Amino acid sequence: MSAPPKIFQQIEKLRDEIRKHDFQYYVLNEPLISDYEYDRRYRQLADLESRYPQLVTPDSPTQRVGGEPTKEFPTVTHSSPMLSLSNTYSEGEMREFNRRVRTILGEDPYEYVCELKLDGVAVNLKYEGGLFVQGATRGDGVMGDDITPNLKTIRSIPLRLFTEETALLNIEARGEVFMNKLDFEALNAEQKKRGEKLFANPRNATAGTLKQQDPRVVASRPLRIYLYYLSYSSEEEQFHYDDLKTLGKLGLPVNQNFRLCGNIDEVIEFCREWEPRRDDLPYEIDGVVVKINSIPQHQVLGSTAKSPRWAMAYKFKAREAETILKGISLQVGRTGAVTPVAELEPVRLAGSTIHRATLHNEEEIARKDFRVGDTVVLKKGGDVIPKVSEVVLKKRLPGTVPFQMPKTCPVCGGPLIKPEGEIISRCENLSCPAQVQRRIEHFASRGAMDIEGLGTAIVEQLIENNLIRDFSDPYFLEADDLIPLERMAEKSADNLIRAIEKSKERPFEKVLFALGIRFVGATVARVIARHFGSMDRLKSATCEELEAVYEIGPRIARSVVEFFQNEVNLKVIERLAKAGVRMAAEDEEIPAPKGIFAGKTFVLTGRLAGFTREEASEIIHNEGGQVISSVSKKTDFVLAGEEPGSKYKKAKKLGVKIIDEEEFENLIMTNKMRE
Ligand code: IVH
């Protein structure tokens, strides 16, 4: 059906209105109309567009959530590298930074702009002809992921800029995507209700959301954005301060807490002012970003490989609170390691209430002289885990005594052993209920067999009721066994049985990880699974055979061999096999490796100048290759650095292709350019 011009006008009018109200609501936080009125316009527009699909344009407000889920994000090369910032925690270093600027700029006068350092995820937005055409993550600074469909769902990002000015139609803006603290808490509550994974903090929630492959999921999450950097081609002399204003005029959200400062004293004043105010803000900030105002001076000051010399981040100190150490309890892990835990008088710190915190080991407690009854300082740094940092000695009460590690396990009463030279005490009783419990929890955890519903509380009940003793037992449970348990309805019993059944499909590498062999984390488990291919082959592997695998050292090798020497372990594995849990990788579909080194094997020898060995291996892995430890005819490349060893000679003899560091770099670079 061809559309009458009247319809076209009506559609455009509705779009303009909706754009304006989006801006009022999402950017200015000042809605002019009710949700009802807004929805009415939106529905009217969606209705007209469905009747006249030929009139749908990519910048229509209805087009925010679209497209099919992507398997992988395309890679984009940034038009200029997305640098990070040098950090400092001290005013002294801020003054030092100012002196360096002064030295380089000489007599030229200069000013600073101070902004809040938002704690989120950096992105780059690209507009062409005024339309939002691409949004990307920072990635490694040079290349990032194209996450345009995900960013389009953020309602404060205009799909079309509010300008007709030619110079401003083609721009790039950089900024931070983040989540408000309250929105984050609501999201986590929702996640919990659905039995989904909880996010550690708003930044992780944001990062996790932007990585989602389905834009519909992203649209359902409360993401926001503030832009803090504009690049566009203009001949005129420019100031960063004006750029911030311009971003705002274009309809892009800009955090309004920025200030022009004439000198470093004013900068420091800004930092001092905001540090105590951070908790009053609805979003997380972790410092202040200080930038030279004049853009031409940015050019004069230049950048190092990682960060510009015209900017500096002043990071706030970790947040802290004082509380009372009420007791020190002991936690027994799945390998029997005993960790002392601080039982604290509950205290609010950076948005959550802290009851407990690890004290790591008895040496740490002795060094810091933590005693039950002490007033201690609790700190929460950039990460989420609170740390008991020190005791407030002047508040120590008389009668406190130094902590003494008990000689017996608090759970099973068995002896605690601390081998010479080690700092961790262990309960060596493999059937210690705490260990059994932890081992089963680990077995069922998301990264291992991923058995939904088999969490701490249920495992505890099952053990108490003698229904399970090791992690093979869940496979022989029936719904009727479960129903009599407390808080277990028929439906949840069925669900659990189904989840256990489903875990039999987990790949061999996850099964291996789930066994909880000491030092065999998820990555090592994958390496071993790929290399040995089956439980039978692994069972009979010797230390030498294991150590021949590139990533495996003697410590891991010994641990694996010892694990398979233990009769009890072998019995459990036998039962797992009988239940139908995967015991080999052979019949699995392992996704074909991708990248320039897909399917290729490398041996490294000699000293590399530009990379550590770990870095080189990581690049090879990321490009789909494998690093092995010894050269054979089947080896594809030997990467030889300075003073290569016997592997080099062997490669020569066997005619294996030898490349030096430069050739290696060239291979990577040419590939990147092709992209
Ligand atoms: S400017 C070349 N301004 O901090 C300068 N960055 O450690 C680029 N950040 O990757 C950064 N708030 O993700 C700038 N007002 C702000 C910022 C900010 C947060 C983040 C950004 C950057 C990181 C640097």
CATH number at residue 9: 1.10.287.610
118 and 266 together in one domain = yes
Res 567: pLDDT: 92
- Domain end position, chosen among 281, 300, 315: 315
Q: Which of 85, 231, 254 to mutate to test the pocket of ligand 1 (most atoms within 8 A of CB)?
A: 85
Q: Mean of the pLDDT values across residues 323-348?
A: 94
Q: What percent of the chain has pLDDT over 70?
A: 97
If one counts the domains in the chain, the total is: 5
Res 675: pLDDT: 42
Res 382: pLDDT: 59
- Range with top average pLDDT, 304-308, 434-438, 522-526: 434-438
CA 313–ligand 1 middle distance (angstroms): 8
Q: Report yes or no on 175 lying in a domain.
A: yes
Q: Which of 117, 315, 387, 510 is catalytic?
A: 117
Q: Are β-strands 637-640 and 387-391 bridged in parallel, bridged antiparallel, or unpaired?
A: unpaired
Please check the confidence at residue 590 and state whether its pLDDT lies above 80.
no
Looking at every residue in the chain, the average pLDDT score rounds to 91
CA 223–ligand 1 middle distance (angstroms): 18
The CATH number for 397's domain is: 2.40.50.140
Q: Mean of the pLDDT values across residues 148-171?
A: 94
- Domain end position, chosen among 41, 63, 85: 63
| SS3 state at 537 | helix
363 and 482 together in one domain = no
Q: Report yes or no on 427 lying in a domain.
A: no
Please check the confidence at residue 289 and state whether its pLDDT lies above 80.
yes
Res 69: pLDDT: 78
| Helical (H) or strand (E) element with 127 | strand 121-128
Domain limits for position 486: 433-439+449-579
Shortest-distance atom of ligand 1 to CA 115: 15
28 and 110 together in one domain = no
Task: Give DSSP secondary structure letters for 285-337.
Answer: EEEEEEEESBHHHHHHH-B-SSSBTTEEEEEPPPEEEEEEEEEEEEEE-TTSE
Cα(673)–Cα(168) distance, rounded to whole angstroms?
29
309 and 361 together in one domain = no
Confidence of residue 298 (pLDDT cuts 50, 70, 90): very high
Q: Report yes or no on 444 lying in a domain.
A: no
CA 84–ligand 1 middle distance (angstroms): 6
Q: Report yes or no on 560 lying in a domain.
A: yes
Confidence of residue 50 (pLDDT cuts 50, 70, 90): very high
Q: Which residue is closest in CA terms to ligand 1's atom 16?
A: 117
| Helical (H) or strand (E) element with 640 | strand 637-640
Cα(226)–Cα(224) distance, rounded to whole angstroms?
7
- 593/263: higher pLDDT: 263
Nearest partner of 132 among 156, 116, 148, 111, judged by Cα: 148
Res 272: pLDDT: 96
333 and 368 together in one domain = yes
Please check the confidence at residue 384 and state whether its pLDDT lies above 70.
no
Residues with CB under 6 Å of ligand 1 are 83-85, 115, 117-118, 122, 176, 228-229, 289, 308, 311, 313
Res 236: pLDDT: 77
CA 22–ligand 1 middle distance (angstroms): 26
Confidence of residue 1 (pLDDT cuts 50, 70, 90): low
Which of 130-139, 370-379, 660-669 bottoms out in mean pLDDT, i.e. has the lowest?
A: 660-669
Q: Which residue is closest in CA terms to ligand 1's atom 21?
A: 122
Q: Which residue is closest in CA terms to ligand 1's atom 2?
A: 83
Residues 433-489 have pLDDT tens digits of 999 999 999 999 988 999 999 988 899 999 999 999 999 999 999 999 998 888 888
397 and 453 together in one domain = no
158 and 206 together in one domain = yes
Please check the confidence at residue 105 and state whether its pLDDT lies above 80.
yes
Please check the confidence at residue 243 and state whether its pLDDT lies above 80.
yes
- Cβ atoms of residues 549 and 629 within 8 Å: yes
CA 287–ligand 1 middle distance (angstroms): 10
Q: What percent of the chain has pLDDT over 90?
A: 70
Q: Report yes or no on 421 lying in a domain.
A: no
Distances (CA, A) of 627 to 253, 571, 634, 637, 638: 47, 34, 13, 10, 10
117 is catalytic: yes
Which of 48-62, 84-98, 547-561, 621-635 bottoms out in mean pLDDT, i.e. has the lowest?
A: 621-635
Cα(485)–Cα(478) distance, rounded to whole angstroms?
12
Listed in sequence order, the DSSP H helices in 476-521 are 479-482, 490-502, 508-514
- Domain end position, chosen among 282, 315, 348: 315
Q: Which of 80, 84, 256 to mutate to test the pocket of ligand 1 (most atoms within 8 A of CB)?
A: 84
Cα(4)–Cα(52) distance, rounded to whole angstroms?
10
Q: Report yes or no on 420 lying in a domain.
A: no
Please check the confidence at residue 252 and state whether its pLDDT lies above 80.
yes
Shortest-distance atom of ligand 1 to CA 117: 12
Q: Which of 289, 290, 298, 307 to mutate to test the pocket of ligand 1 (most atoms within 8 A of CB)?
A: 289
- Range with top average pLDDT, 188-202, 255-269, 453-467, 573-587: 255-269
Q: Mean of the pLDDT values across residues 17-33?
A: 91
Q: Report yes or no on 585 lying in a domain.
A: no
311 and 324 together in one domain = no
Nearest partner of 427 among 454, 406, 453, judged by Cα: 406
Q: Which residue is closest in CA terms to ligand 1's atom 23?
A: 84
